Amino acid sequence: MKKILLPNGLSVSAMALGAMNFGTTTSKKESYEVLDLFLERGGNFIDTSNNYAHWAGTGDESETLLGEWLHERGCRDRVILATKVGFDRHGQGAGLKKEQIEYWIDESLRKLRTDYIDLYYAHTDDANTPIEETMEAFDRLVKKGKVRCLGGSNFDTWRFAEANAIANAKGLTPYTAMQQRFSYLHPRAEIAPKYLFNEITDRERLRYLADKNIPLVAYACLCKGGYEVPERLPEDCVAGARMELIQRMAREKGLNPSAIAIAWMTNLCRCKGYPTVIPLFSATPEQLESNLRGLDLVLTDEEMELMNRT
């Protein structure tokens, strides 16, 4: 699997493996199978959070399972590990205050059985805490060696930019990656965002990231399997002409539609106004094998133009 050198110095696989349901709705056995296959195929970028998947358990399961797997396989040095802080988990943990950041990083390190996190995300913005307090707390984690790099997720673009402006002015560690919802299918404009802060990636956000050379880690990029099974599409996704095109291209190239969506995302950086995009998704072992074929597909300029203008 090809690697991407990020501006923050991390060398990551061209896709990130999502571990949201590991240990809850995905069994330990299947989680290990997916993780082993991902590593075997050359993947190294694994994504979790301190609250996954609290709606199906306590919120500790994903990090705990990953910690067990890393320990049993002895592969910590082969993995770029990302986790997060800031979202609610059963009435606790929400926010980016100094005390919360300092408490939850130690909890994540303990569960993950590691001394450091490669990429630590603010899982969502916190308008009730001064940005300076948040960025100073994150910077202390970097200086202590508990965290290597920082990212922001589920932020309004202007708030992300403001946080980085404050960090740069004060000599603090800035956010050097953004994780947001992004896929080939357009979102329905008439449906309100799920969260207080905008999780949807629009063209303005993409242009901002391209201009600042900040990579986009794209969650929900396969629309819950809706490219293969349209009945699974979230209600706020528009199918229409884009779905028809991606399914036609899949038939012509002998790939599954998800692989075409992945190829489009990983080829976007060649197009003006688009940043580096790293698809983030989970899958069964069989689905992972099929989806990975999209990483090797180089779409022509004509194909990219067609897909972008549809």
Would you name the residues annotated as active-site residues? 52
> Backbone phi, then psi, for 275, in 5-degree steps?
-90, 180
Q: In angstroms, how far is the first alpha carbon of the chain from the final one?
A: 29
Asked whether the beta carbons of 129 and 99 are under 8 A apart, the reply is no
SS3 per residue for 51-99: CCCCCCCCCCHHHHHHHHHHHHHCCHHHCEEEEEECCCECCECCCCCHH
With vertex at residue 20, the alpha carbon angle to CA 199 and CA 245, rounded to the nearest 5 degrees, is 60
DSSP string, 286-304: HHHHHHHGGGG----HHHH
103 burial level (CB within 10 Å; 0-12, 13-18, 19+): middle
The answer to whether the Cα torsion of 72, 86, 141, 206 is positive or negative is: positive
**Which residues touch 97 (CB under 8 Å, ≥6 apart)?**
126, 129, 133, 134, 137
The pair of structure tokens assigned to 15 is 């896709």
